[in-house]
Structure formats: C-alpha cells, structure tokens
Structure 1
C-alpha cells in the first residue's frame, strides 16, 4: 500500500463507521417515535373504560384528550428553535424522561383533573418529538438519501400503534387502564437508558453548532413567508387532523358505530396505520426515484404528497355510500392510511427548503401549527358524538375527507422547494 492510498482507505473506513452510526441513531429514533405514539394512543384505546371509570361524557373525554395539545405547540416551537443550537441528543433524552414522569400521576390515581394535568405535561414533553427526531435523523444523510430514513422515523408512528394497539388493549382489558400507563412509564425509561448509551449527534449538526458550517443569515420570517412552507404546513395540518381522529376516536368508532367487540376493534385499529406504513415506503421509493431522475421537489414531494392526500380524501368521502361493515371498514383504513401519511413529505420538503442552521426552527414551527389540529379535533368530534350519537362519528369521517381534499389542492398548487430556496438565497 502506498502513502497516497492510505488516506483513502482511512476515509473509507471512517465513512463506513459514520454510516453504521447513522443507521443506529435512525433505528433508535424509530423506536422513540413508537413510544411517542403509544403514549398518545393509550387514552383512545381505553376511551370507554376511562369514561365509565371517571363518569365522563364524550365532550369531556374529548377535552381531556385536547388538553394533551395545550402546550404541545408552544413546546414544539421553543424546542424546535433550540434544536439549531443545542445538542439533539440531549434534547431527545430530556424529552423521553419527561414522558415517563408525566404519566405517573394519572397512573397512581385521581380523577379528571389529574388526568388533564398529566396529559398537558405529557403533551409539552412530546410536542417537539417529531421535528427534533426528523432533524436529528436527516442531518446524518445527504438530501438525495433522506427519503428512506425520514420515512423510517415516520413509520415509527405507525409501528407504535401497530404494536401498542393490541398489546395495550389486552393490558387495559385484563389489568385496567392505569396499569397500561405504568407499562408506558417503564418502556420510556428503558428507551432513555439505551439512547444515553448509543445515541449521538451527527458530525454535520455538531459542525453547524460549533461554527464549522456557516449558519444561514436568512431570517426565519422569510422561510415562514414562502409559499412552500405555508403550503406544506397547511397540507400537513389537514393530514394531522385525521391522525388525531385515529388516535382518540377511531377505537370508539369501531366499537360503537360499527359494533366490533373490543378485542376485534383493537386489532382492526392497526389497519389504517399498516396502510400508512405501506404508503410511507411507497412514497419514499417514488420520491427518491423521481429525485434521481432529475425531477425537483415540486414534482417529487409536492405532487406526490398531493396525490396521497387526494386518494385518502376520496376514500373517506365515499364512506356514506357504503353500508356493509367490511367495505366501510376498508374505506376507513385506506382513507386514514393515505390521508395520515403526509408527515415524511412535510419534513423532507421543509428540510430541503430551509438553509443550514434553520431546519430545526422551520420544522418546529410547522409542527407546532400543524398539531393545533390535535387540540381541535378531539373536542370537536366529542361534541359531534354527544349531539348526534353514533352518527357523529360518521360526520367526523366526512369532515376529515373534506379537509384533506383541501390539503391536496394546497399541496399541488403551492409546494415548490427549489423555487423558494432560490428566492431565499437571492
């Protein structure tokens, strides 16, 4: 081996080591999002049991779930901005520990007030999770390789529900809903310990914080005023509405409006999330293929995302025309699966748009505004159920279809990250 060859071999070895670490971090953050969404979904899975135990109306239960999002958006903004300056590893570790602490009061006992306070604290801790996890993951990869890791982190949401829905449903039925909270406390602490040992910040994010990578002088307000950021945020808002509906009210919809037994409903709840997982990987493959063929973000992300939302909207809007339980359930699964799978498109689009040193804040504010849908949807749907009975569930499904149809139009007409990135640089 010559002297000239040695550095190349060393560089290659270092690149392989970095690649292994990148995928280790990605895998941990997939599990991070699994725990995150198990925490979110547990009240929906125990909706009937909690309402019976605490004597709550549908509106009160909806408000208790909306409380989760009371500080969710504020925390998302604050921590999203901090993620451009503070170690993502530290932020993520603190969040994971806070999740576990937040659920202890409701797990111990108490009534509605304790449940609401616990959910408010949990929401504040979980609000920044998705944007920080996406920013931490994507910073390990160049733009043309970000679709798969971004999709994997997002599919952690789906896996969280797929694993937790039948598991927590069994725990709730056999041991009570408070025991299910204790299970989530333990899982959160175990994950935090693993992250403390194996988690890491990417060289790119370390260099940016240390000044090794020039921070952008583009003010956040110019990013937030771009058509792409606005269009992505609005489209994602409509998608997140369906996610909130799935988390809080879909279990009750399956049990009460469609008359499935509790165990069967817990299994069927997995269907829209499983569809969403397939859609996510299909989107990642298609977007990556289009980018490699030279198509810009307007086509690869704007139009692909719009198509996903349009398919979801069509399926949900067809549900009033189908009375048979099986086909109706299939339309629900397809509609929510396609309509709720927009998160990766949103994250990678904003990450493509935002200059270095601005992605955390851009993703954080987007996520904060989007998750206002989580504050509104549970309470509004709860009021619909109290007013219309089981018909309120069906009205909520149609409303979701209308919203994501609007999101599809917005995504199709407004998103063009290359165009707006050039305007920001000008």
Structure 2
C-alpha cells in the first residue's frame, strides 16, 4: 500500500509542471485525475471474485509488477493522451490492491483482532505519501516530473522481488455466520448488496473517498496555484493531511478494537465511531471559504479531510463481519469499488469548479466546501444505518430459512 499510494500521489505532486509542460487547463488536469479511476472499480470486482478461489499472494504479486511497469512510459515523450491512457491502465492494475490485501490480512487475524492490523495496512497509504513526497518532490524540482514516475516504477519492482520470496498465505478460517452450524453456507450476493449496513458503509465510504481523491490530485495545486506557495514548499506540505490521517487511523483502529474487545457492539465501536468522525470533518471544511488567512485555510483543510479517516478501517471490518469467508474477497472488492466511484467524479468535478470560478482560490474553496456537505450527509447515513449485529442475524436467519426450504424440497 505504501508503493501503491506513492503511485497515486505522484500526479498531484507534479501537477504544476505537468500542466505547464503539456499546456493543460484545470478541467483537463482534473480529467487525468479521474482517469485513474475509470477501470479501478471494475478490475477490483473482477479480481475480487478470482481471489475468492486463488491465493491472494499471487494476485498481489501480479498487480504490483503490472503497475510498476506502467510507470516507465512516463520517461519518454508524453502527451495528454499517453498520460490519460497510462493512468487508466494503472487504475486497472491498482484497483484490486486494497480489497485483496485486506482479504489476505484477514487470513491471519480473527474478527475481534482485525481493527489494528487493518489500520496498519491502510496506513501504508499515508506512510507511502510521507516517505515518498519529499523524495519525489526533490526529483521533480531538481530533475523532472518524468523521473518521479520512473523512481516509483523501480520501487514497485523491488517490492515485487521481496514479496516473491517472503509473501505467505494465511490459514485462519472464519466461523460460520449462523450459530450451531459446522459448515459455512453461501449468502446470495443480492442479500449482501441490499444489506442496510453495507449500503450505508458504501455511502459513507464514497464521500470519504471523494476527499481522498481530491487530496491525491488537487491538494498540492491548491497550495501552489491557490495559496501561492512555491513548488518545493507546497510539495513538502502535501504530507500534512497524510500524517494527520496516519495518526487518526491508527488511533481510531486501536480504539475500535479496544471497544470491541471490551464488549461494546460493532454498531458503536465501528459504525458510530467512524461515522461521527466523518460528520466532524464535514462540519469543519465549510469554514475554509470564510477566512483569507492561508495558514488557517491549510489547517482547516488538513483537519477536515483527516479526522474521518477511520472509516477506511471500519468499512472492511463491517463487510467481513457480514460476509462468509468464501465470498469475502469479492464483497470487499465490490464495496471498495463503490467507494472509489467518488474518485472518478471528484477530481474532474473540482477541475470544473476551479475553471468556472471567478478566481482559482475561490474555486478551490468552493470545491472543498462541497466535500464538507457530502461528508456531513454521508456520515449521518452511516450513523443511522451501520448496524452489523442486527444485519448479521437477519442474513443468517434468511440463509438458514432458504437452506431449510431447499432441503425440504429435495
């Protein structure tokens, strides 16, 4: 996940030189940011179903090699069309990474001990940005944005070699959903996909991923183009939301696991904990347009986008809580794909808002205010409808009834 998110971050980090070299408008650059997510959800679902049957370590190795190789075309002559094509293919390669990695992780830890490991793996994204940004920004400033892509490709190939020799598959098997049943039965996907908890998790995750996509694509341009920071300073400051998110996610994962271990319900220890944090971010962000002070704008943006990051730990936890292990990889991929649809829309939408605004700064502020409204509404949905225990019982009862009816007919 560290290398995976460094891949995602490099376009936003190099936004200004890319736009200058390729003569791109904000709308065109927003399209590049969105292009990454065009095939992202579809490949995630496809590989998720495959990972139900095959070892996850093989899928992770194949994806890492593919996405690493896709960085090297950026070392040559690059046009707008080539950049778009490479980002689309990169999204297809990286789309399944998070759900497949999470599925692989859950083969090592039982449900009650998954929050902290999930947070650690999820924070590969933040660590990737924190570690990569200073190095990539130095390469961009002192060499070129082309070599920033090349460095990421080399890092990905090195990881692939290590994973080939040291990657292992876990052996832990989850207990059946229904009590007093020795063999797990499959739950129809239509029941899982219409489950209120999963629908609410998708909704809250969608808005949160909208914010994540804006951070990947537009955070550095906001600092450089909107607030007037230099490329060096703006690029280095781009690590701030990720550092804050790292702290929030690790602390939130620890707190969620501690509450769960103390007997607190999943609705509170997972659903309410994360949803309230998302709503808090939604309340903070609209203040960004009410102050002219650049440092205060930066603080509001960092706090508003980072405070709800625990949702990225909670969503896979509640999905795995409701899904039989034999279907888990596919359901994690489907839910992750719905969430990442926010990434398809958000960068392009921000580009349109910025281009149509009276000033660049006003456009950025309006775009982040819109994000605040989405976070507030989606957090409320999560607070009301993420109820894992109740929905697990309902799914188990419905599945048991279906099995009894099938046996009576035979």
TM-score by length of 2: 0.92
Q: 2:297 aligns with which of 328, 342, 351?
A: 328
Residue 27 (structure 1) aligns with: none
Q: 1:125 aligns with which of 87, 93, 103?
A: 93
Q: Give, in whole Å, the separation in 1 of the partners of 2:185 and 2:150.
A: 44
Deviations 1:106-162 (A, max 9, x none): 222231111111111100000011111111112210111111110001111111111
Q: Does 1:418 align with 2:389?
A: yes
Q: Give, in whole Å, the separation in 2 of the partners of 1:122 and 1:155.
A: 21
Residue 205 of structure 1 and its aligned partner are, at CA, apart by 6.3
Q: Give, in whole Å, the separation in 1 of the partners of 2:279 and 2:19.
A: 35
Residue 336 of structure 1 and its aligned partner are, at CA, apart by 0.9
Unaligned runs of at least 5 residues, structure 2: 177-181, 398-410
Q: 1:404 aligns with which of 372, 375, 381?
A: 375
C-alpha contact 2:274 2:308 (8 A) present in aligned 1: no
Residue 174 of structure 1 and its aligned partner are, at CA, apart by 0.8
Q: 2:77 aligns with which of 103, 109, 113?
A: 109
Structure 1 206/182 Cα, relative in aligned 2: closer, same or farther at 3 Å? farther
Residue 325 of structure 1 and its aligned partner are, at CA, apart by 1.9
Q: Give, in whole Å, the separation in 1 of the partners of 2:254 and 2:13.
A: 32
Residue 6 (structure 1) aligns with: none
Residue 330 (structure 2) aligns with: 361
C-alpha contact 2:220 2:238 (8 A) present in aligned 1: yes
Structure 1 193/206 Cα, relative in aligned 2: closer, same or farther at 3 Å? farther
Deviations 1:364-389 (A, max 9, x none): 00111111111111111111111113
**1:205-224 matched pairs, under 5 angstroms:** 214-224=183-193
Residue 320 of structure 1 and its aligned partner are, at CA, apart by 2.0
Q: Does 1:350 align with 2:319?
A: yes
Deviations 1:345-374 (A, max 9, x none): 111111112122121111100111111111
Residue 206 of structure 1 and its aligned partner are, at CA, apart by 12
Q: Does 1:190 align with 2:189?
A: no
Q: Does 1:256 align with 2:225?
A: yes
Q: Give, in whole Å, the separation in 1 of the partners of 2:106 and 2:249.
A: 16
Residue 3 (structure 1) aligns with: none
Residue 231 (structure 1) aligns with: 200
Residue 322 of structure 1 and its aligned partner are, at CA, apart by 2.4
SS across alignment from 2:234: helix
Q: Give, in whole Å, the separation in 2 of the partners of 1:164 and 1:255.
A: 19
Residue 215 of structure 1 and its aligned partner are, at CA, apart by 4.8
Residue 101 of structure 1 and its aligned partner are, at CA, apart by 1.6
Deviations 1:267-309 (A, max 9, x none): 2111111111111112112111211221111001110011210
C-alpha contact 2:174 2:325 (8 A) present in aligned 1: no
C-alpha contact 2:277 2:307 (8 A) present in aligned 1: yes
Deviations 1:153-184 (A, max 9, x none): 11111111111222111111111011111101
Residue 312 of structure 1 and its aligned partner are, at CA, apart by 1.1
SS across alignment from 1:351: helix
Q: Give, in whole Å, the separation in 2 of the partners of 1:126 and 1:329.
A: 29
Deviations 1:303-357 (A, max 9, x none): 0011210221122122222222222211111111113442111111111121221
Q: 1:93 aligns with which of 44, 49, 61?
A: 61
Q: 1:203 aligns with which of 171, 177, 181?
A: 171
Q: 2:365 aligns with which of 372, 394, 406?
A: 394
Residue 162 (structure 1) aligns with: 130
SS across alignment from 1:110: coil
The worse-fitting range, judged by mean Cα deviation, of 325-334 and 147-156 is 325-334
Q: Give, in whole Å, the separation in 2 of the partners of 1:207 and 1:94.
A: 30
C-alpha contact 1:214 1:356 (8 A) present in aligned 2: no
What is the number of equivalent residue pairs in this alignment? 390
Q: Give, in whole Å, the separation in 2 of the partners of 1:186 and 1:275.
A: 28
Deviations 1:31-81 (A, max 9, x none): xx0100000010100111011111111111111221111110100111111
Q: Does 1:145 align with 2:116?
A: no
Q: Give, in whole Å, the separation in 2 of the partners of 1:107 and 1:425.
A: 53
SS across alignment from 1:294: coil
Unaligned runs of at least 5 residues, structure 1: 1-32
TM-score by length of 1: 0.89
